[in-house]
Structure 1
Amino acid sequence: MKEIHPLTSLDSVGAFLEQHKLSFLYVSRPECNVCHSILPKLRELLEHYPKIHLGHIDASQVEEIAAKYLIFTVPAMLLVIDKKEYIRSDRFVRFENLNQEIEQIYELVTQDDPAE
């Protein structure tokens, strides 16, 4: 399964996005049952995209994440490329649709890029 990078502050989120051209941010809360059920499916999906790095933010620890990224519900998922948001999905995710969106963008971004 895809490795998860725990991000524990806005600074660590910024550094993560700076460090990785292709980033996927997963924002959740410990008491969110939907969050717990979606994360394994997301990790499995992202396994097909080796150049995408997965960062996890616990919104109860990094409360300012909601204001910074306009997150109103969890789980929230953001595909970020070169520090710009390209895909946003939240709460109830249709993984087939999410996969199609990621696949299209991933192919465009990585077609001439052998390494990150």
Structure 2
Amino acid sequence: MRDYTKITSDKELDQMMHEKLSVVYISRNSCSVCHALLPKIQLVMEDYPAVAFGHILTDSYEEVAGKLSIFTVPVILIFSEGKELLRDARFIRVEEFRESLDKMKVLLEH
């Protein structure tokens, strides 16, 4: 499974958001769905080594909810150079996430 960068501050989040293409997974310790989904997302991310991959636990970085308008978890965000390209929350379908990532990766290669 692919490792991720733990994001615990605004500075780290801003760095991740400004990568050419990045995925940020947001979860909470008390969320069983979050814990079950993270390994599946890590497996998908193995196929995208050039895409930056970060994880935020809202328990240790509570300000992220206000900064990114997060109202529920889990959340997957895809960014490119500071712009949010995709937001998926709560009921995240892994294959749809993969398809979205494929499309965005192709767009950025041109």
- Smaller-chain TM-score range? over 0.9
- Structure 1 position 25, deviation (Å): 0.7
Partner in structure 2 of residue 53 of structure 1:
52
CA contact (8 A) 2:77 2:85 kept: yes
Task: Kindly state the Cα deviation for residue 5 of structure 1 after the two structures are TM-superposed.
Answer: 0.3
Alignment of 1:8-87 (within 5 A): 8-18=8-18, 20-87=19-86
Aligned counterpart, 1:114: none
Please give the alpha-carbon distance, in whole angstroms, between the structure 2 residues aligned to 1:96 and 1:16. Answer: 23
Q: CA RMSD in A?
A: 1.2
Cα distance in 2 for residues equivalent to 1:36 and 1:53: 20
Q: Work out whether residues 28 and 58 of structure 2, in 8 Å CA contact, stay in contact via their aligned partners in 1.
A: yes
Task: Using the TM superposition, give the Cα deviation of residue 59 of structure 1 relative to its aligned residue in structure 2, in angstroms.
Answer: 0.6
Task: Name 1:93's counterpart in structure 2.
Answer: 92
- Shift, 1:107, TM fit: 1.1
Equivalenced residue count is 110
Identity of aligned residues (%): 36
* Gapped regions of structure 2 (runs ≥ 5): none
Q: Cα offset for 1:97? A: 1.4
Could you list the runs of 4 or more consecutive aligned residues of structure 1 that deviate by over 2 angstroms after TM superposition? 15-18
| Helix, strand or coil at the partner of 2:30 | coil
**Counterpart code for 1:10:** D
